């Protein structure tokens, strides 16, 4: 019997606020991973604002580290709130830095998207916008299950731990699907 293949996932939260529910959702995902799977969480709060001028001297050190983490990962797990029907400016900014050639680090990777928000309406529109961005990044997105943690304030404790069993089960299913898609893409290439 062949040894199970390791899958390294990089988690990227669209929120950088202290006590972010989306970082909490990524931590929950780390606790719910299938065997032979790991999850590292990237920080995007120190990535400078993208501009052609900022890139003229090469990538800033924070961007280099972010791109290296993406390149080293086998798959990406996004957790994003919704701001004005879209993703956060911080997340879009970080993704713009990763979109600059050479060596597009997202290209060909599997990704999955989830989100948490204090709104009772959820964050479906923001996740949809991120799916469109992921198409531009040339990633392959997991389509189901859909993880939309609405009214997050009632589903996380004061330390940011996800307590909602239904949301935890959906996240568990999502990371299993992400691992499955990642392994399927490996056999294609």
**CATH number of domain containing 177:** 3.40.50.360
Give the pLDDT score at 189.
62
**Domain presence at residue 160:** yes
Give the pLDDT score at 3.
58
Number of domains in the chain: 1
The whole model's pTM is what? 0.95
Give the pLDDT score at 27.
98
Give the pLDDT score at 103.
84
The residue range of the domain holding 64 is: 7-188
**Domain presence at residue 2:** no
Exposed / middle / buried, residue 58 (Cβ in 10 Å: 0-12, 13-18, 19+): exposed
Q: From CA 165, how far away is CA 128, in angstroms rounded? A: 24
**Domain presence at residue 40:** yes
**Domain presence at residue 1:** no
Give the pLDDT score at 1.
39
Find the helix or strand (DSSP H, E) in which 12 lies.
Answer: strand 7-13
Residues of the chain under the 70 pLDDT cut: 1-3, 189
């Amino acid at each position: 019997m062949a040894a199970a293949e390791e899958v390294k996932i990089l988690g990227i939260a669209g929120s950088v606020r202290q006590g972010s529910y989306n970082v909490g959702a990524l931590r929950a995902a780390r606790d719910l991973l299938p065997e032979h799977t790991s999850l590292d969480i990237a920080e995007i709060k120190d990535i400078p604002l993208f501009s052609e001028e900022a890139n003229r001297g090469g990538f800033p050190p924070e961007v280099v580290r972010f791109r290296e983490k993406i390149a080293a990962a086998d798959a990406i797990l996004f957790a994003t709130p919704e701001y004005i029907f879209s993703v956060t400016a911080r997340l879009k900014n970080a993704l713009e830095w990763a979109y600059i050639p050479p060596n597009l680090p997202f290209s060909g990777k599997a990704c999955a998207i989830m989100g948490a928000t204090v709104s009772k309406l959820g964050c479906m529109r923001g996740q949809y916008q991120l799916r469109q961005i992921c198409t531009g990044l040339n990633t392959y997105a997991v389509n189901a299950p859909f993880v939309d943690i609405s009214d997050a304030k009632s589903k996380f404790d004061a330390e940011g731990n996800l307590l909602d069993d239904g949301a935890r089960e959906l996240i568990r299913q999502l990371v299993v699907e992400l691992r499955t898609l990642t392994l399927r893409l490996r056999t294609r290439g």
